Amino acid sequence: MSLHVFANFVTPFGTAANNRAETEGNITTLQKLLWHGETHSTVSAEAIRFALRRRLGAAEKTNRTWDEAARANVWDDHQFKGWATEKGKTFIDDDLLGYMIAEAAKEEGGDDGKGSAKVRRAVLEVTRAVSLTPWAGDVTFNAASPGATPSAQKKGSNPVPYGTEVHATRYQYGIALTPERLRDKSRAAKAIHALCNLGTVAGNHGRFLFDFSPEVVVIRLTQDPAPRFLYCFDTPDDGKTVHAKNLIDRLNAEDIKADELIVGAADTGSALAAGLKAKNVNVLGVVKACEKAVAVINERLDHKSQE
Protein backbone atom coordinates (compact mmCIF):
# COMPACT_ATOMS: atom_id res chain seq x y z
CA MET A 1 0.00 0.00 0.00
CA SER A 2 1.21 3.51 -0.83
CA LEU A 3 1.64 6.35 1.62
CA HIS A 4 -0.52 9.35 0.74
CA VAL A 5 0.07 12.79 2.24
CA PHE A 6 -2.79 15.28 2.40
CA ALA A 7 -2.90 18.65 4.12
CA ASN A 8 -5.30 21.52 4.58
CA PHE A 9 -4.00 24.95 5.57
CA VAL A 10 -5.66 28.09 6.91
CA THR A 11 -3.73 31.35 6.97
CA PRO A 12 -3.67 34.10 9.60
CA PHE A 13 -6.11 36.99 9.21
CA GLY A 14 -4.79 39.67 6.88
CA THR A 15 -5.66 42.15 4.14
CA ALA A 16 -5.45 40.91 0.56
CA ALA A 17 -5.13 43.26 -2.40
CA ASN A 18 -3.45 43.45 -5.81
CA ASN A 19 -4.23 39.77 -6.43
CA ARG A 20 -5.43 40.68 -9.86
CA ALA A 21 -8.32 39.49 -11.90
CA GLU A 22 -9.19 41.55 -14.97
CA THR A 23 -8.68 45.27 -14.37
CA GLU A 24 -11.91 47.25 -14.64
CA GLY A 25 -11.10 50.81 -15.66
CA ASN A 26 -8.79 52.17 -12.97
CA ILE A 27 -9.88 49.60 -10.38
CA THR A 28 -7.40 46.85 -9.49
CA THR A 29 -9.70 43.89 -8.87
CA LEU A 30 -9.41 40.76 -6.76
CA GLN A 31 -9.91 37.30 -8.19
CA LYS A 32 -13.32 36.13 -7.01
CA LEU A 33 -15.71 33.20 -7.22
CA LEU A 34 -19.09 32.15 -5.91
CA TRP A 35 -18.65 29.87 -2.88
CA HIS A 36 -21.76 28.49 -1.20
CA GLY A 37 -23.76 31.16 -2.99
CA GLU A 38 -21.66 34.14 -1.83
CA THR A 39 -18.78 36.07 -3.38
CA HIS A 40 -15.39 35.08 -1.98
CA SER A 41 -11.93 36.21 -3.03
CA THR A 42 -9.50 33.57 -4.17
CA VAL A 43 -5.80 32.99 -4.86
CA SER A 44 -4.87 30.68 -7.72
CA ALA A 45 -3.01 27.42 -7.30
CA GLU A 46 -0.48 28.81 -9.82
CA ALA A 47 0.34 31.70 -7.47
CA ILE A 48 0.83 29.27 -4.57
CA ARG A 49 3.03 27.04 -6.73
CA PHE A 50 5.12 30.06 -7.79
CA ALA A 51 5.75 31.00 -4.15
CA LEU A 52 6.38 27.35 -3.25
CA ARG A 53 9.04 27.00 -5.97
CA ARG A 54 11.00 29.81 -4.31
CA ARG A 55 10.87 28.01 -0.96
CA LEU A 56 11.88 24.70 -2.54
CA GLY A 57 14.98 26.45 -3.86
CA ALA A 58 16.22 26.71 -0.29
CA ALA A 59 16.23 22.90 -0.03
CA GLU A 60 17.56 21.95 -3.47
CA LYS A 61 18.42 23.57 -6.76
CA THR A 62 15.33 24.18 -8.87
CA ASN A 63 15.15 23.96 -12.65
CA ARG A 64 13.25 27.22 -12.93
CA THR A 65 14.15 30.40 -11.05
CA TRP A 66 12.73 33.91 -11.34
CA ASP A 67 15.10 36.68 -12.41
CA GLU A 68 13.78 39.88 -10.82
CA ALA A 69 15.97 42.12 -12.99
CA ALA A 70 14.93 40.52 -16.29
CA ARG A 71 11.36 39.85 -15.09
CA ALA A 72 11.58 36.39 -16.61
CA ASN A 73 12.12 32.74 -15.72
CA VAL A 74 15.64 31.33 -16.04
CA TRP A 75 15.91 27.62 -16.85
CA ASP A 76 18.70 25.16 -16.18
CA ASP A 77 17.26 22.37 -18.36
CA HIS A 78 14.30 23.65 -20.37
CA GLN A 79 14.20 20.39 -22.38
CA PHE A 80 13.96 18.26 -19.20
CA LYS A 81 16.68 15.95 -20.50
CA GLY A 82 17.38 14.50 -17.07
CA TRP A 83 14.11 12.58 -17.20
CA ALA A 84 15.20 10.54 -20.23
CA THR A 85 17.06 8.00 -18.05
CA GLU A 86 16.44 6.48 -14.63
CA LYS A 87 19.60 8.00 -13.18
CA GLY A 88 19.39 11.35 -14.96
CA LYS A 89 19.73 14.61 -13.07
CA THR A 90 16.32 15.95 -12.07
CA PHE A 91 15.20 19.01 -10.14
CA ILE A 92 12.97 19.24 -7.10
CA ASP A 93 10.44 21.59 -8.72
CA ASP A 94 10.01 19.38 -11.80
CA ASP A 95 9.69 16.28 -9.62
CA LEU A 96 7.01 17.78 -7.38
CA LEU A 97 5.23 20.27 -9.62
CA GLY A 98 5.53 18.55 -12.98
CA TYR A 99 6.31 20.09 -16.36
CA MET A 100 5.16 20.29 -19.94
CA ILE A 101 7.00 21.16 -23.14
CA ALA A 102 5.01 21.16 -26.37
CA GLU A 103 6.43 21.41 -29.87
CA ALA A 104 4.33 22.21 -32.91
CA ALA A 105 4.45 20.15 -36.08
CA LYS A 106 7.44 21.00 -38.29
CA GLU A 107 5.43 20.95 -41.50
CA GLU A 108 1.72 21.43 -41.71
CA GLY A 109 0.09 18.53 -43.56
CA GLY A 110 3.36 16.60 -43.94
CA ASP A 111 4.19 13.08 -42.82
CA ASP A 112 5.54 14.46 -39.58
CA GLY A 113 2.55 16.75 -39.22
CA LYS A 114 1.95 15.81 -35.62
CA GLY A 115 3.45 17.85 -32.82
CA SER A 116 5.02 16.36 -29.72
CA ALA A 117 4.90 16.97 -26.01
CA LYS A 118 6.89 16.00 -22.94
CA VAL A 119 4.62 15.97 -19.93
CA ARG A 120 5.02 15.05 -16.27
CA ARG A 121 1.88 15.40 -14.18
CA ALA A 122 2.35 17.24 -10.91
CA VAL A 123 2.82 14.83 -8.01
CA LEU A 124 2.14 17.64 -5.54
CA GLU A 125 -1.37 18.86 -6.34
CA VAL A 126 -2.57 22.19 -4.96
CA THR A 127 -6.12 23.50 -4.66
CA ARG A 128 -7.14 27.08 -5.25
CA ALA A 129 -7.14 29.10 -2.00
CA VAL A 130 -10.58 30.44 -1.04
CA SER A 131 -11.29 33.16 1.50
CA LEU A 132 -12.86 31.96 4.73
CA THR A 133 -15.24 34.94 4.72
CA PRO A 134 -17.29 36.50 1.88
CA TRP A 135 -15.97 39.63 0.20
CA ALA A 136 -18.00 42.64 1.36
CA GLY A 137 -17.11 44.81 -1.63
CA ASP A 138 -14.41 46.94 0.04
CA VAL A 139 -12.59 49.28 -2.35
CA THR A 140 -10.01 51.90 -1.41
CA PHE A 141 -9.55 55.16 -3.29
CA ASN A 142 -5.95 56.10 -4.00
CA ALA A 143 -4.11 58.80 -5.91
CA ALA A 144 -0.57 58.42 -7.21
CA SER A 145 1.45 61.59 -6.79
CA PRO A 146 2.29 63.49 -10.01
CA GLY A 147 5.08 61.77 -11.91
CA ALA A 148 5.01 58.64 -9.71
CA THR A 149 3.69 56.58 -12.62
CA PRO A 150 4.69 58.33 -15.86
CA SER A 151 2.94 55.73 -18.04
CA ALA A 152 -0.37 56.57 -16.35
CA GLN A 153 0.12 60.33 -16.48
CA LYS A 154 -1.86 61.36 -19.55
CA LYS A 155 -1.14 65.07 -19.37
CA GLY A 156 -0.70 67.83 -16.86
CA SER A 157 0.56 67.40 -13.32
CA ASN A 158 -2.56 66.25 -11.48
CA PRO A 159 -2.52 63.18 -9.20
CA VAL A 160 -3.52 59.92 -10.92
CA PRO A 161 -6.60 58.40 -9.21
CA TYR A 162 -7.10 54.66 -8.96
CA GLY A 163 -9.02 52.20 -6.84
CA THR A 164 -8.06 48.88 -5.24
CA GLU A 165 -10.35 46.08 -4.11
CA VAL A 166 -9.27 44.75 -0.70
CA HIS A 167 -10.38 41.86 1.47
CA ALA A 168 -9.66 41.41 5.17
CA THR A 169 -9.88 37.65 5.59
CA ARG A 170 -8.16 34.30 5.97
CA TYR A 171 -7.55 31.83 3.13
CA GLN A 172 -7.65 28.06 3.14
CA TYR A 173 -6.27 25.62 0.60
CA GLY A 174 -5.21 22.00 0.42
CA ILE A 175 -2.60 19.72 -1.13
CA ALA A 176 -2.26 16.06 -2.09
CA LEU A 177 0.98 14.14 -2.56
CA THR A 178 1.94 10.50 -3.09
CA PRO A 179 5.69 10.28 -2.35
CA GLU A 180 6.21 6.98 -4.21
CA ARG A 181 5.47 8.77 -7.48
CA LEU A 182 8.52 11.01 -7.01
CA ARG A 183 11.89 10.32 -8.60
CA ASP A 184 13.45 11.28 -5.24
CA LYS A 185 11.06 10.39 -2.39
CA SER A 186 12.92 12.56 0.13
CA ARG A 187 11.42 15.56 -1.66
CA ALA A 188 8.00 14.83 -0.16
CA ALA A 189 9.10 15.93 3.31
CA LYS A 190 10.88 18.95 1.82
CA ALA A 191 7.62 20.00 0.17
CA ILE A 192 5.70 19.84 3.46
CA HIS A 193 8.44 21.85 5.18
CA ALA A 194 8.31 24.48 2.43
CA LEU A 195 4.52 24.76 2.59
CA CYS A 196 4.64 25.26 6.35
CA ASN A 197 7.05 28.15 5.79
CA LEU A 198 5.35 29.80 2.84
CA GLY A 199 5.59 33.58 2.80
CA THR A 200 4.04 36.08 0.43
CA VAL A 201 1.78 34.66 -2.27
CA ALA A 202 0.17 36.44 -5.23
CA GLY A 203 0.21 40.10 -6.16
CA ASN A 204 2.06 41.79 -9.01
CA HIS A 205 5.10 44.08 -8.96
CA GLY A 206 3.81 45.78 -5.78
CA ARG A 207 3.24 42.59 -3.80
CA PHE A 208 1.00 43.04 -0.79
CA LEU A 209 2.30 41.37 2.36
CA PHE A 210 -0.06 38.56 3.31
CA ASP A 211 1.36 35.78 5.46
CA PHE A 212 0.54 32.45 3.79
CA SER A 213 2.27 30.38 6.44
CA PRO A 214 -0.41 28.39 8.27
CA GLU A 215 -2.05 29.48 11.49
CA VAL A 216 -3.70 26.06 11.50
CA VAL A 217 -2.69 23.02 9.48
CA VAL A 218 -4.11 19.49 9.35
CA ILE A 219 -1.78 16.88 7.84
CA ARG A 220 -3.08 13.40 7.09
CA LEU A 221 -0.66 10.52 6.52
CA THR A 222 -2.65 7.55 5.28
CA GLN A 223 -3.00 4.64 2.88
CA ASP A 224 -6.41 5.99 1.85
CA PRO A 225 -6.05 7.53 -1.66
CA ALA A 226 -8.76 10.17 -1.02
CA PRO A 227 -8.16 13.32 1.08
CA ARG A 228 -11.71 13.50 2.55
CA PHE A 229 -11.09 16.77 4.45
CA LEU A 230 -10.18 19.49 1.93
CA TYR A 231 -11.67 22.91 2.79
CA CYS A 232 -12.55 21.57 6.25
CA PHE A 233 -12.15 24.94 7.99
CA ASP A 234 -14.84 27.53 8.64
CA THR A 235 -15.37 30.50 10.92
CA PRO A 236 -18.28 31.29 13.25
CA ASP A 237 -17.29 34.95 13.83
CA ASP A 238 -16.20 36.56 10.55
CA GLY A 239 -12.66 35.17 10.69
CA LYS A 240 -11.72 35.97 14.29
CA THR A 241 -11.53 32.26 15.11
CA VAL A 242 -11.55 29.05 13.10
CA HIS A 243 -13.31 25.73 13.59
CA ALA A 244 -13.08 22.39 11.79
CA LYS A 245 -16.57 20.94 12.24
CA ASN A 246 -16.37 19.13 8.89
CA LEU A 247 -13.19 17.35 10.01
CA ILE A 248 -14.75 16.33 13.33
CA ASP A 249 -17.81 15.02 11.46
CA ARG A 250 -15.47 12.85 9.37
CA LEU A 251 -13.78 11.58 12.53
CA ASN A 252 -17.17 10.78 14.08
CA ALA A 253 -18.18 8.90 10.93
CA GLU A 254 -14.84 7.01 11.05
CA ASP A 255 -14.05 8.13 7.50
CA ILE A 256 -10.77 9.44 8.91
CA LYS A 257 -8.80 7.90 11.77
CA ALA A 258 -7.44 10.13 14.52
CA ASP A 259 -4.01 8.48 14.42
CA GLU A 260 -3.63 9.49 10.76
CA LEU A 261 -3.73 13.19 11.65
CA ILE A 262 -1.11 15.65 12.81
CA VAL A 263 -2.57 19.06 13.60
CA GLY A 264 -0.69 22.30 14.11
CA ALA A 265 -2.40 25.30 15.69
CA ALA A 266 -0.98 28.67 16.72
CA ASP A 267 -3.28 28.51 19.76
CA THR A 268 -3.17 24.98 21.18
CA GLY A 269 -5.69 26.01 23.83
CA SER A 270 -8.33 27.14 21.34
CA ALA A 271 -11.78 25.61 20.98
CA LEU A 272 -10.63 24.10 17.66
CA ALA A 273 -7.66 22.39 19.34
CA ALA A 274 -9.79 21.23 22.27
CA GLY A 275 -12.40 19.70 19.97
CA LEU A 276 -9.75 17.75 18.07
CA LYS A 277 -7.93 16.65 21.23
CA ALA A 278 -11.24 15.27 22.49
CA LYS A 279 -11.17 13.00 19.43
CA ASN A 280 -7.63 11.80 20.34
CA VAL A 281 -6.01 13.89 17.58
CA ASN A 282 -2.42 14.96 18.17
CA VAL A 283 -2.42 18.81 18.32
CA LEU A 284 0.88 20.68 18.46
CA GLY A 285 2.13 24.14 17.61
CA VAL A 286 2.35 24.79 13.87
CA VAL A 287 6.15 24.53 13.61
CA LYS A 288 6.30 21.42 15.83
CA ALA A 289 3.48 19.76 13.88
CA CYS A 290 5.29 20.33 10.59
CA GLU A 291 8.55 19.00 12.05
CA LYS A 292 6.72 15.89 13.27
CA ALA A 293 5.07 15.34 9.88
CA VAL A 294 8.42 15.68 8.11
CA ALA A 295 10.01 13.15 10.50
CA VAL A 296 7.14 10.64 10.16
CA ILE A 297 7.12 10.88 6.36
CA ASN A 298 10.88 10.28 6.16
CA GLU A 299 10.67 7.42 8.66
CA ARG A 300 7.86 5.65 6.80
CA LEU A 301 9.50 6.05 3.41
CA ASP A 302 12.83 4.82 4.77
CA HIS A 303 11.15 1.81 6.38
CA LYS A 304 9.29 0.97 3.16
CA SER A 305 12.51 1.17 1.11
CA GLN A 306 14.09 -1.40 3.43
CA GLU A 307 11.25 -3.90 3.06
**Does the pLDDT value for residue 216 go beyond 90?**
yes
Q: Kindly report the number of other CB atoms within 10 A of residue 248's CB atom.
A: 18
Number of domains, the chain = 1
The whole-number average pLDDT for the span 133-156 is: 76
The pLDDT tens digits for 253-269 are: 999 999 999 999 999 99
Q: At residue 67, what is the residue type?
A: D
pLDDT of residue 73: 87
Range of the domain at 281: 4-306
pLDDT at 243 over 70: yes
Confidence label for 147 from pLDDT (cuts 50, 70 and 90): low
* Average of per-residue pLDDT across 113-125: 84
pLDDT tens-digit map of 176-215:
999 999 999 999 999 999 999 998 886 555 556 889 999 9
275-299 confidence digits (pLDDT tens):
999 999 999 999 999 999 999 999 9
Give the span between the Cα atoms of 11 and 215, in whole angstroms: 5
pLDDT tens readout for residues 60-117: 999 999 888 888 889 999 999 999 999 899 999 999 999 998 776 666 655 556 766 7
- Residues 130 and 34: their CA atoms lie apart, in Å, by 10
Residue 98: predicted pLDDT = 96
Q: Helix, strand, coil: what percent of the chain each, to 5? A: 25, 30, 45
Q: What is the CA radius of gyration of the chain?
A: 22
CA–CA gap between residue 10 and residue 287 (Å, rounded): 14
Task: Specify the DSSP class assigned to residue 79.
Answer: T
Q: Are strands 216-222 and 4-10 parallel, antiparallel or unpaired?
A: antiparallel
The pLDDT of residue 19 is: 59
